[in-house]
Structure 1
Amino acid sequence: MTLPYVLVLVADPAQGTLSKDAIDIARNMVKGKNPVVLSAGEAVEIPCPTPAPGAPTIATIRATLARHKVDALLVKTRGRRKAVLVADMDSTILDGESLDEVAALLGVGDDVARLTLDTMNGKLDFEESLRTRVALLEGKSTDCLEEVWQKSRLNPGARTLVKTMSAHNARTALVSGGFTYFTSRVAEACGFDEHYGNEFDIQNGVFTGKLAAPVLGPDSKEEHLQRLLEERGVKASAALTTGDGTNDLPMLAVAGLGIAYKAKPKVRQIIEMQVNHSTLRAHLFAQGYPASVFVE
């Protein structure tokens, strides 16, 4: 008989191996069956019953395994593989904040980075903050955009996540509060079906300090998710969303599998599913994909 839940444990191979001790501790906490290896030394899943009253919560399990640098995700067995993926870009698919990098090259990096951090922690209104940050670029050359892109790096597992889900007939979208100059390039590099972001207003190769279109913020991310669900004819339970900032909260809360990826403290306080130690490959393991079927 298939048990209703699985506890998925994932380590980052670059940081160490998923140890037998960590697996045994987790198995005992959820009263689970024998672990099934998804990737040797990296990920297992432990079939387990529905948590009983008084059983350790996922937060407790996660805290217990923190010293092992292991992520724990408790997911329902039914409907694990998702038909829609909506991902944030900056600090999720992409390593770092692209607008901060642009600002740094233009000499206003500290001011913009401070505003970005406060915004992602929910201390500032997203739209107001974005307009303030872009205003600091006024009159400066856009030549830096290509330099920032050339230095940009995808987070480990980003391309594998997108390509594997696409190969299994999921619709994938990159939806960012960042800018389409970067989303277009990241989407092409990873294989996203769609991409959306904000637009710089540029005149004669110079930033005007304004936006060229309405702001794509937290509500817009959820709207794109809902549109994709309708187009695929599936419910929110069939969606995977991932992001790190408070502007991702609406889409993380709605999706059947909303994962806070190395997220800001406020996001981790709200979103139960978290990847804090391992790579974006954890999003595939959570859906029950073994590494043997990954598209690298």
Structure 2
Amino acid sequence: MPDARFLVVFDADSTLLRNEVIELIADEAGRGADVAAATEAAMRGEVDFATSLRTRVQALAGVPLAAFERVLARVEPTPGAAELIAEIHRRGGRAAVVSGGFLEVLDTVAPALGVDRWRANRLASAGGALTGTVDGGIVDAAAKAAALQEWAAAEGIGLERTIAVGDGANDLRMMAVAGLGIAFNAKPAVRAQADLVVGPVDLRQLIPLLP
């Protein structure tokens, strides 16, 4: 595969995907509303992301792994996602996803959309059910920025040829290190700090911004 011309790194939940996946999983435990409120606060930047994520994941304890089939059936890519990724590839770029969400979903959804690289949290399980903990380190704002830099270096792409797309406070650090930081379907604090704000929830709106 020839060297890539540029790199676009997406957040997953409420950016590349329409859903907040943790809320879909929490629905399986009957705790969807509680987790949704906590997620909203974290995305607005009102609470520390890692602390909030650990608390929300505790609410998933006992959800059977078999439930992920139902969760995946409810996951919806954001309109235009497949078309944007196809255009990134047509122009010689790479598409990546770094998420504070979960590999249990991204490992299926990312390759189906044509994503080249992805990174997210792994949920711990035992006896066929979630334990309510994260397996390994948490993908927080610092980890997102580090992933963008790592992937750009691996592809031989200068940071000035990287684009970061996100909606929540957890995305601000990767948006700051990218050549272009785009607030998409974003919270007010993110819109205020982004290089560019895209309002319509249709990822095809980003195609004219590609190099």
Give the TM-score category using the shorter length: over 0.9
| SS of equivalent to 2:149 | helix
- Are residues 1:217 and 2:140 paired? yes
1:152 offset after TM fit, Å?
1.3
Task: Identify the match of residue 182 of structure 1 among 94, 97, 105.
Answer: 105
**Residue type matched to 1:229 in 2?**
A
Report the counterpart of residue 88 of structure 2 in structure 1. Answer: 165
Contact 1:82 1:239 in 2 (8 A): no
Report the counterpart of residue 115 of structure 2 in structure 1. Answer: 192
Larger of the two Rg values belongs to structure:
1
| SS of equivalent to 1:281 | helix
Gaps of 5+ in 1: 1-80, 289-296
- Are residues 1:249 and 2:172 paired? yes
Report the counterpart of residue 97 of structure 1 in structure 2. Answer: 20
| SS of equivalent to 1:172 | strand
1:233 offset after TM fit, Å?
2.4
Structure 1 pair 284–107 and aligned structure 2 pair: CA distance change class (3 A) = same
1:140 offset after TM fit, Å?
2.9
Separation in 1 of the partners of 2:147 and 2:141?
10
Task: Identify the match of residue 258 of structure 1 among 171, 176, 181.
Answer: 181
Separation in 1 of the partners of 2:61 and 2:11?
26
- Are residues 1:272 and 2:195 paired? yes
Structure 1 pair 129–82 and aligned structure 2 pair: CA distance change class (3 A) = farther
Contact 2:79 2:201 in 1 (8 A): no
Identity of aligned residues (%): 36
**Residue type matched to 2:186 in 1?**
A
Separation in 2 of the partners of 1:286 and 1:171?
15
More helix by percentage: 2
Contact 1:120 1:247 in 2 (8 A): yes
Report the counterpart of residue 63 of structure 2 in structure 1. Answer: 140
Q: How many residues align?
A: 208
Normalization by structure 2: what TM-score? 0.93
Separation in 2 of the partners of 1:270 and 1:228?
23
Q: CA RMSD in A?
A: 1.5
Structure 1 pair 278–216 and aligned structure 2 pair: CA distance change class (3 A) = closer
1:280 offset after TM fit, Å?
0.6
For residues 1-296 of structure 1, the aligned pairs below 5 Å read 83-287=6-210
